[in-house]
Structure 1
C-alpha cells in the first residue's frame, strides 16, 4: 500500500514539473513574426500582398478570394464579368487544370497572371535575357516608368498580342484574346508585394494593369486554389497560442489524474480480495491434504456422526440408528 502511494506521489511530482516547464516555455517564448508563404493575401511580411489586397477591398466593393478548384470556375453562373488574379502561382502540371483556366477565359472572363517566369503557363512563351533589376519600363502609351524586375526572362509576344509593358530587353506584359475573354501576363509579381509596391513607379504600373484588365467593371477574384492558402499554415495555426498551450496542459493533467484515480492502461492485476471469500483457500488446502493422505473415509464418518448428533438434538433420534431405519421412521 505504501509503495502504491509513493508511486502516485512520484507521478504527481512529474506532472507538476511538466506543467511548470510548459508554462515557463510558453511565457518565455520569443515573439517571432508568424511565417507566411510568399504572395499570400493576408501576409504582412515583405513578400506578401496584404497591402494592395486591403487597398482594393477598401476602394472596390466587389473583391473576393477564390479557394475552390479551377474546374469550378467555368461552371459559375455569373452575369457580371470577372477578373481572376493569379500572383506567382505554382506551375500547372496537369493539362485538365490548364484547360479549366482556358475554358474560363473563353467564357468571356479575364485572367491576370503575374509570374516571374510564366513559360508554358496558359500558352505563354518566354525568352532568356540578362538580369538587370533596375530598368525603365514603357507602358502602352509610350510613357516611361522606373521599376525593378527580378526576372531573367522576357515574354514572347505573338502577332495578335497587345504589348502593355516593355523595356530595352523585351516584353514585360502582354494582352492576348482567348475566345471571348482576355489573358494578361506580367512577369513582375514583385511590384505587388508589401516591400516594393511603394518603391519607384510600381504602384502606378500595377493600377494601370488592373485598369487595363477592367478591374473597375468586373468582380475581382484572387486565386488561392492552387495549394497556397491565405494563412499558409497548419491546422494548429488556426488557434491562438494560449488555446494550444491550455489544451496541452489539460491533456497532460487528464492523463495523470486518471493514473492517480487508479485507472490502469497496462496489465490488470486481480487483487487477492476479489477471489478469496470466507477462507476459501484454507478449505481447499485441507481437502487436498485429506485426498493425498487417504483420510477422507474418516472425515466422512466424522461428518456422519455430527449429522446424527444434530438429528438427535432436534428430533430425538438415537445416535446409533442406521440410515435406512432413519428413512423408514421419517
Structure 2
C-alpha cells in the first residue's frame, strides 16, 4: 500500500513540475504596440488620455481608413499624433475636410508639409539637445505652468498663426484658420503619453485644447498601421450606389410580378409512377376489349363541341346548320365541308348504335385535326 502511495505522490509531483515549466517557458508575452497608439497601455501609448476623453464626452472613436473617407459635414474633430508616411494628397484631402467646418489637431515633434495650412517650424536649438523643464505661457495656460520640452523645433510666428503655448525659445503650439475650420499643431506629442501626461503641467496645458463642441472626435490610427480597408462600394459616389440599389429593387419587383421562379424543376410523382403513355394504353385497351368504340367517339365529339363553344361561342348542343354557318364564316369552304361531314358521320353512328374500329380510327384522326385547328384560333 505504501508503494502505491509513493507512486501517486511522484506522479502528482511530476505533473505539477510539468505544468510549472510549461507556464514559465510558454508564458504569453504582453502585446507590443507602436508609440502613440490610443488603445496602448504601454508607457508610450495614449490609453490614459483616450479613456478620459471617452468618459468626459460622447462620440470619441478610432479612425482606421484613409482621410478621404472621413464623414462629410461639419462640427467634427480629428486628433493625429505623430502620423507616419503622410502623403501630399492625404494632406490635401484632410485640408478640404477642414475647410467644410471641421477641426484638425496634430501632435508632431518635427512637422513638415503643413504650409498650406500656414503652419511651419524651424530649428530653435541643436538637434541633440535633451528635453528639460521649461516655463510654459499661453492664453489658457495659467500661472506657474511648466513642461518638459525639447529645444529643437519651434513654430514660425506668422500673421495667420494664433499662438497657444510658448516657452522661452518660441511657440510650441498654434492654431490657424482654414476655411470654416481650424488646424492646431502641437510640437509636444510626448505630453499625451501614459508616461508623461501627469508629469509637470502637461495635462493642464493640453486638456483645454482637447475640449470642443464637436459631434464626434476621431482618433487617427490609420497612420499608426491599424487600417481597415473601405468596402468595395466606397470607390463609387453615393448617388450611383443609391441609384443602383433602387434599380435592383425595381428589377426584383418586376421579376416577382412576372412570376419568375428560380430553382430546379421537379417532375410530378404521378407522371413517373404508372402514368403517362402507360395510362393511355391501358384505357385504350379497356375500350377495345369492351367494344366501346362508339363511347370513345362520343367523348371526342364532346371535346370538339366544347372547343367550338370556347372559340366560336356556340352551344354544345348546336345543330349542324349553326355549326356550318359558323365554320363557313371562319374557315375555307373545304374545311367547313369536312367538319360538317365529320359531325354527320358521328350522328349516323350514334343513330345506328354502333361504330366500327376502322371508322373510329379515321374519325379520330380527323377530330385531332379539327381540334388542333380550333386550339390555334
TM-score in terms of structure 2 length: 0.50
- Pairs within 5 Å for 1:1-330: 28-30=25-27, 32-73=29-70, 76-78=71-73, 81-92=75-86, 94-121=87-114, 123=116, 124-130=119-125, 131=129, 132-141=131-140, 143-144=142-143, 145-150=145-150, 152-211=152-211, 214=212, 216-229=213-226
**Aligned equivalents of 2:227, 2:69: Cα separation in 1:** 19
Q: Is the 8 A contact 1:149 1:190 kept in 2?
A: no
Shift of 1:71: 1.3
Q: CA deviation at 1:142?
A: 6.3
Residues 142 and 88 (structure 1 numbering): CA distance in 2 closer, same or farther, change over 3 Å?
closer
* Superimposed CA distance per residue, residues 235-285 of structure 1 (whole angstroms, 9 cap, x where no aligned partner): xxxxxxxxxxxxxxxxxxxxxxxxxxxxxxxxxxxxxxxxxxxxxxxxxxx
**Contiguous gaps of at least 5 residues in structure 2:** 1-17, 229-377
Matched residue of 1:71: which SS?
A: helix
- The answer as to whether partners of 1:175 and 1:184 remain within 8 angstroms in 2 is yes
Whole-angstrom CA distance in 1 between matches of 2:92 and 2:151? 26
Which residue number corresponds to residue 8 of structure 1?
none
Task: Work out the CA distance in 1 between the residues paired with 2:42 and 2:151.
Answer: 21
Q: Matched residue of 1:138: which SS?
A: coil
Q: Distance in 2 between matches of 1:142 and 1:192?
A: 16
Q: Deviations over 1:120-165 (max 9, x none)?
A: 2354311112234211110224634111124610111210211001
Which has more helix, going by share of residues? 2
Is the 8 Å Cα contact of residues 98 and 122 (structure 1) preserved in structure 2? no
* Structure 1 residue ranges without an equivalent (≥5): 1-20, 232-330
Alpha-carbon offset, residue 111 of structure 1: 0.1
Per-residue displacement from partner, 1:40-76 (whole Å, max 9, x unpaired)?
1111110000011111111111111111111112xx2
Normalization by structure 1: what TM-score? 0.57
How far did residue 171 of structure 1 move?
A: 0.4
- Give secondary structure in 2 for the equivalent of 1:182: strand
Question: CA 1:57 to 1:106, structure 2 compared with 1: closer, same or farther past 3 Å?
Answer: same
Counterparts of 1:90 and 1:106, CA distance in 2? 23
Contact 2:141-2:205 at 8 Å conserved across structures = no
In 2, are the aligned partners of 1:102 and 1:122 still within 8 Å (CA)? Answer: no
Runs of 4+ in 1 over 2 A off after TM superposition: 23-27, 29-34, 119-124, 130-133, 141-144
Return the offset for 1:210.
1.2
Aligned equivalents of 1:179, 1:198: Cα separation in 2 = 35
